[in-house]
Amino acid sequence: MLITLPDLLPAEQVLQCRQILASATWTDGRTSAGHVAAHVKANRQLAQDDPVARQMGALITQALRRHPVFQSAALPAQILPPRFNRYEGGEHYGFHIDNSIFRLPVEATSQQALNSSASTPTLLRSDISTTVFFSDPDDYDGGELIIQDTYGEQRVKLPAGQAVVYPGTSLHQVTPVTRGVRYAAFFWTQSLVRDDSQRSLLLQQDIAIQRLIREGANPEIVSQLTGVYHNLLRQWANP
């Protein structure tokens, strides 16, 4: 399942973030890549403990918590703090699949422990990948995110402030940026429902239920369908 979030961040926030990113301190992106991915990766990233990355990552996470489509599609159990990259001068990231498991930073697990009486896991399974664009398509040439799925290659180059959400199991790449600068955030989500096809069915059902409510459908029918949704979620969820 591949979806876009056309209204994740407002224009004024995007402009502020882009100004901050333009003056940030960037490091070699290969330092965070796995052994295989490092051979096809040529870009720059903010260090994960960079105050700029933490500040803007918190902004994105807050926006995701308020976004009904992301919540319905991802069914997030854990979100890895967003990371930030920069491409220019031919930089690119060849075809690769992201790591399956990430370690949550200490501050993230500590904050989540404050909000939960349950023990907090320190590992995150990357069920879902997300990219948030901070540069408009006219600002740079190339830099398309190409995602391979069951329907072939999907080429994604969204306006600033928009995001694309897709399965973490997808083979994908960022094509060379030959003009301008491409800024983006990227991160991973562990879902309550591990299987992408099951998440897709739940999203379709949730959308249908919301449409029935808007159109004033019989409340009894809506309740029955809502019950089916939650029983499926109960069966498939793996917190």
50-79: per-residue pLDDT in tens? 999 999 999 999 999 999 999 999 999 999
Start-to-end CA distance of the chain, whole Å, equals 20
d(CA 237, CA 239): 6
- pLDDT > 90: percent of the chain: 85
Neighbours of 18 (CB within 10 A): 17
Contact 36, 96 (CB under 8 A): yes
Token readout for 152 is 């072939």
Q: What is the pTM of this model?
A: 0.90
pLDDT category, 118, cuts 50, 70, 90? very low
137-169: per-residue pLDDT in tens? 999 999 999 999 877 899 999 999 999 999 999
192-229: per-residue pLDDT in tens? 999 999 999 999 999 999 999 999 999 999 999 999 99
9-56: per-residue pLDDT in tens? 999 999 999 999 999 999 999 887 667 777 899 999 999 999 999 999
Q: Bridge-partner residues for 153, per DSSP?
A: 148
Averaged pLDDT score across all residues of the chain: 92
- 89-114 b/e (C-beta count within 10 Å ≥ 16 → b): eebbbeebbbeeebebeeebbeeeee
Domains of the chain: 3-191 (2.60.120.620), 197-236 (4.10.860.20)
Helices of type H across 45-146: 51-66, 68-74, 106-114
pLDDT of 110: 41
Q: If residue 79 lies in a helix (H) or strand (E), which one and from where to where?
A: strand 76-79
Three-state secondary structure call for residue 66: helix
pLDDT category, 107, cuts 50, 70, 90? low
pLDDT of 108: 57
